[in-house]
Chain A
């Protein structure tokens, strides 16, 4: 899938390289940041975090990105929130990719076929996609979250994962419809290979490129979704930091303490930007015309 020619195309693409660098930097920041911080992410520092006007202190040596409304280190919280946001986004994307791949490949493989001249597997699956798409995404996620215990990271990424697979299913269905009529797939079926084997052995590897591209872009969307949920107060409960929650808590102070908004907003922007550029770079590198 990612052969030498694809690698060369990828490395020649400055946008793709920039995206990779941003993502790598964010991952590094999330991993190493908390170790570099002089404060714990949940720990208020009333001795040094309070300014003379009783407001949180701005960026300084002790607080590289300032202090938040209860005088915690924004740098430490941003890094820990990054861990959580990236973990949730990647985990949710893995779930969504798995579901989307299964639904997309099965639907694409059986497109145009009816069992007992009535039941269309493709029709059923795609109408299911249409129905779920008809629900406002955030409303759906919030409704599921309200019904479950929505305060854990696991719950959040499972919810995002089981509701976020639709675009991948559609992309892979279209790709599978192309691949299923290729000679080696037809030959495999003619040799009597089981359908599951054909899908796994011959179709999946040939739709892996679009799957990886879609998944990479989906990570960015999951970061936004997670941030929005936290911003709306239906994400992970405090005091655990998330970028969306930090944005929400800082918004009232955006004029008096702009770092409270700027730090998480920039992190979200960079993450979305980085994953989108990476995804687009992968798409260009894995251009189906040159597979």
Chain B
């Protein structure tokens, strides 16, 4: 260990101190100008170029659509794997690899006619056999598929998932290009489920069973070249020349750099080393939004994620519903919102604004300090705010990952809960360790919860987060380990129901249960704020997926010069 400042020179150090103090002030300069597009505002798509992106963490979930997916892995997986159906710009499910589909048998059979001539990334033609093989691979009991519970309604799932059947009986190949999914009961959400990535067709090289060593390969617009993924560092996807949509994608490649702090991302974006800034700090987001040159390049997306405080209903003190209600009433959501006002919106129910129940009589969870104290009293742990006595007698371990937004919001929650006699002990850890512990039944009493919509329907929230079926000994998405027969029944009925009005009523009731029994204290909805360089064209935020750049292209002035002379000369 060497001293940083050995033979101290007072003058030098004084200068250093002044510089240190002055530097931040000096850095409050105007943002640099956006880097112009080679062809101005001309919006004619052009092929070529690489899109450079970055993320604050590493891919935890890998690139297999059947495995664990987190918010970061979903971006590249969406580019690698096309599905039978997809969302259009209005979040409606439309055919993609399928040419069309029919619903038969009162909603129990979904029959898909595939497009012909679709080329997978291994140059083989997509057939109905690939759809069945991919579904069986994804739902095989040996596959670590946390989304398998979404597909229990496929006929024969139980026998297949328990190893009592060799094939998944409910997926039937009816011709080279026709495949049918038979369900045990009608399910209005099935098109949404198929739009998820879990059952998307994989290349034959994927085999019949899940394997860690497989090079991800599907029918999406981009493919993974050998050596394209350097774990912990970067990922490069290149254009799939055989993609079934003529002329798409426009980009030659998409590159991610991982484990890059928000600060570094902003600096590199300003220098043009990143083309799209997606993880700006709130302070930086505010600066870009206020700058007239950059403001038109900012993109505010819709809330697609919900945040809250997940309370383990199997562990004390949160096995007591009154304590959970107290927590839900004690958290001041307006204060949470101030942590990141440009990206947060106050959330008082399970559904984000895009799906929220607009019934004004629906109260949800609200900040109500006297009510929180009353719930503590009913729980048997009254707290006297004047003397600071009472409350739950033990510290409560609250796990969270560092760094992250949750470190700040958790400290506010800690302050709020201290006022009702709940003392949180914050325990920070890495993101991977956090997820592992949070998703185990008896590992943590409380943790920050967040969930990004898998598809734009309330079932995307309720099914994975709050139903009994979503509880697992490892990798449980139901991190509160909440189990309510009444809620399970409502969700099951909503699945069967084809009438959207009736479904809405059922989900309103489910929402009321979750808000009242409070496995989560809902805190805020979250949306992305992106800023693009002007030379990035055709980037339109997807209403569901975190990243869809199949229609984007880069038209950057000076790219040819840079390729010739190196990026340092820009």
| Partner-B contacts on A (CB < 8 A) | 15, 18-19, 42-44, 46, 50, 53-55, 69-71, 137, 151, 164, 166-167, 217, 220-221, 224-225, 233, 237-239, 248-249, 251-258, 261-262, 265-266, 269-270, 272-273, 276-277, 280
Q: Within 8 Å CB of B4, what residues of A?
A: 221, 224, 272
Are A50 and B407 CB-contacts (below 8 A) given A167-B1, A258-B24, A265-B20?
no
Assess the B1–A166 pair: CB atoms within 8 A: yes
B contact patch SS: helix
Assess the A15–B24 pair: CB atoms within 8 A: no
Assess the B335–A44 pair: CB atoms within 8 A: yes
Q: Within 8 Å CB of B27, what residues of A?
A: 254-255, 258
Q: Within 8 Å CB of B408, what residues of A?
A: 69-70, 249
B259, chain A: closest CB distance, angstroms: 13
Assess the A277–B10 pair: CB atoms within 8 A: yes
Assess the B427–A151 pair: CB atoms within 8 A: yes
Q: Give the distance in Å from the alpha carbon of A192 to the alpha carbon of B274 in the complex.
A: 75
B328, chain A: closest CB distance, angstroms: 20
Assess the A15–B8 pair: CB atoms within 8 A: yes
Assess the A46–B17 pair: CB atoms within 8 A: no
Q: Within 8 Å CB of A261, what residues of B?
A: 24
Are A277 and B8 CB-contacts (below 8 A) given A151-B427, A266-B20, A269-B20?
yes
Q: Give the distance in Å from the alpha carbon of A28 to the alpha carbon of B42 in the complex.
A: 64
Assess the A71–B20 pair: CB atoms within 8 A: no
Q: Mark B291-311, 1 if CB is under 8 A from A, else 0.
A: 000000000000000000000
Residues of B in contact (CB 8 Å), total 42
Q: Within 8 Å CB of B13, what residues of A?
A: 269, 273
Q: Within 8 Å CB of A256, what residues of B?
A: 28, 283-284, 286-287
B426 within 8 A of A: yes
| Smallest CB gap from A141: residue in B | B1
Are A239 and B1 CB-contacts (below 8 A) given A253-B283, A258-B28, A265-B20?
no
Q: Within 8 Å CB of A258, what residues of B?
A: 24-25, 27-28
Q: Mark B1-32, 1 if CB is under 8 A from A, else 0.
A: 10111111010010011001100110111000
| Smallest CB gap from A280: residue in B | B8
| Smallest CB gap from B31: residue in A | A255
User: What are the 5 tightest A-B residue pairs by CB atom distance, in nearest-first order?
Assistant: A258-B24, A252-B281, A256-B283, A233-B402, A253-B283
- Considering residues A15, A167, A221, A237, which has the most beta carbons from chain B within 10 angstroms of its beta carbon? A237
Q: Within 8 Å CB of A276, what residues of B?
A: 3, 5-6, 8
Q: Within 8 Å CB of B17, what residues of A?
A: 266, 269-270, 273
Instruction: Among B7, B24, B338, B411, point to the contact of A46 (Cβ < 8 A).
Output: B338
Q: Give the distance in Å from the alpha carbon of A249 to the alpha carbon of B27 in the complex.
A: 17
Q: Give the distance in Å from the alpha carbon of A216 to the alpha carbon of B13 in the complex.
A: 18
Q: Within 8 Å CB of B338, what residues of A?
A: 46, 50, 54, 70-71
Q: Within 8 Å CB of B335, what residues of A?
A: 44, 46
Assess the A273–B8 pair: CB atoms within 8 A: yes
Assess the B10–A15 pair: CB atoms within 8 A: yes
| Smallest CB gap from A167: residue in B | B1
